[in-house]
Amino acid sequence: MKIAISVWNNSLSNVFDFSTNVLIVDIEDAKEVARSKVNLEDTLAQQKAKKLKDLGVETLICGAISREVVFALDSVGIEVLAYVTGEVEEVLQAHLNNSLDAAKFVMPGCWHGARNGFGGCMRKRRLRSCAKEAINKKGG
Amino acid sequence: MSNKKDYNQQEIILDSISEGVFTVDENWRITSFNRAAHEITGIAPSEAIGKYCRDILHADVCQSDCTLQQTMNTGKAVTNRVVHIIDANGNKRAIAISTALLRDKAGDIVGGVETFRDMSTIENLRKEIMQKYSCEDIISQSPKMRNIFEVLPNIAKSNITVLIEGPSGSGKELFARAIHNLSSRKDKPFIAINCGALPDALLESELFGYKAGAFTDAKKDKLGRFDLAQGGTIFLDEIGDVSPVMQVKLLRVLQEKTYEPVGAVASVSADVRVIAATNKKLEILVEQGKFREDLYYRINVMRIELPPLKDRKEDIHLLINHFIDKFNRIHNKHITGVTDQAAAALLAYDYPGNVRELENILEHCFVLCSGDLIQVKDLPVHLRRSSGANQSCAASSGVTIKQMEIELIKAAIDRNNGNKTAAAKELGIDKSTLFRKIKSLGI
Residues B48, B113: one domain? yes
Where among B51, B85, B119 does a domain terminate?
B119
In this complex, do B419 and A127 lie within 8 Å of one another by their Cβ atoms? yes
CATH number at residue B429: 1.10.8.60
Question: Mean pLDDT over residues B386-404, rounded?
Answer: 51
| Amino acid (1-letter code) at residue B159 | N
**Which of B88-92, B129-133, B196-200, B417-421 is predicted with the least confidence, judged by mean pLDDT?**
B129-133
User: pLDDT tens digits, residue range B193-252?
Assistant: 999 888 888 898 899 998 877 676 777 888 899 999 999 999 999 999 999 989 999 999
Question: Mean pLDDT over residues B364-380, rounded?
Answer: 90
Q: Is A55 on the interface with B (CB under 8 A)?
A: no
Residues B95, B143: one domain? no
In this complex, do B150 and A46 lie within 8 Å of one another by their Cβ atoms? yes
User: pLDDT tens digits, residue range B132-159?
Assistant: 666 667 888 788 888 888 888 889 999 8
Closest CA to B295 of B252, B237, B238, B346: B252
Which H or E element spans position B417?
none
User: How near does any CA of chain B get to the CA of A2, in Å?
Assistant: 22
Question: Mean pLDDT over residues B111-126, rounded?
Answer: 84
Domain assignment present for B31? yes
Residues B147, B288: one domain? yes
CATH number at residue B233: 3.40.50.300
User: How near does any CA of chain A get to the CA of B43, in Å?
Assistant: 6
Which H or E element spans position B89?
none
Residues B92, B20: one domain? yes
Residues B158, B293: one domain? yes
Domain assignment present for B125? no
Domain assignment present for B194? yes
Domain assignment present for B126? no
**Which of B121-135, B190-204, B400-414 is predicted with the least confidence, judged by mean pLDDT?**
B121-135
Residues B156, B257: one domain? yes
Contacts of B61 (CB under 8 A, 6+ apart): B67, B81, B83
Where among B119, B154, B178 does a domain terminate?
B119
Which member of A19, A66, A107 has the closest CB to residue B90?
A66
CATH number at residue B109: 3.30.450.20
Where among B265, B282, B307 does a domain terminate?
B307
CATH number at residue A28: 3.30.420.130
Handedness of CA A56, A59, A61, A67 (dihedral sign): positive
Residues B32, B83: one domain? yes
Question: Which residue on chain A is closest to B45 by alpha carbon?
Answer: A140
Contacts of B1 (CB under 8 A, 6+ apart): none
Residues B281, B425: one domain? no
**Residue ranges making up the domain that contains B387:** 311-441
By the 8 A CB rule, do B179 and B221 touch? no
pLDDT at position B398 is: 43
Residues B149, B286: one domain? yes
Residues B285, B185: one domain? yes
| Amino acid (1-letter code) at residue B337 | G
**Residue ranges making up the domain that contains A81:** 2-139
The whole-angstrom separation of Cα B169 and Cα B24 is 48
pLDDT-derived band of residue B325, with 50, 70 and 90 as boundaries? confident
Total number of domains constituting chain A: 1
Residues B289, B177: one domain? yes
* Residues of chain A with confidence (pLDDT) below 70: 42-43, 116-140
Domain assignment present for B76? yes
In this complex, do A108 and B48 lie within 8 Å of one another by their Cβ atoms? yes
Total number of domains constituting chain B: 3
Q: Is A15 on the interface with B (CB under 8 A)?
A: yes
Closest CA to B362 of B344, B388, B338: B338
Q: Which residues of B touch A8 (CB under 8 A)?
A: 63
Q: Which residues of A touch B55 (CB under 8 A)?
A: 14, 63, 85, 107-108
> What pairing do the DSSP bridges indicate for beta strands B268-269 and B78-86?
unpaired
Residues B72, B189: one domain? no
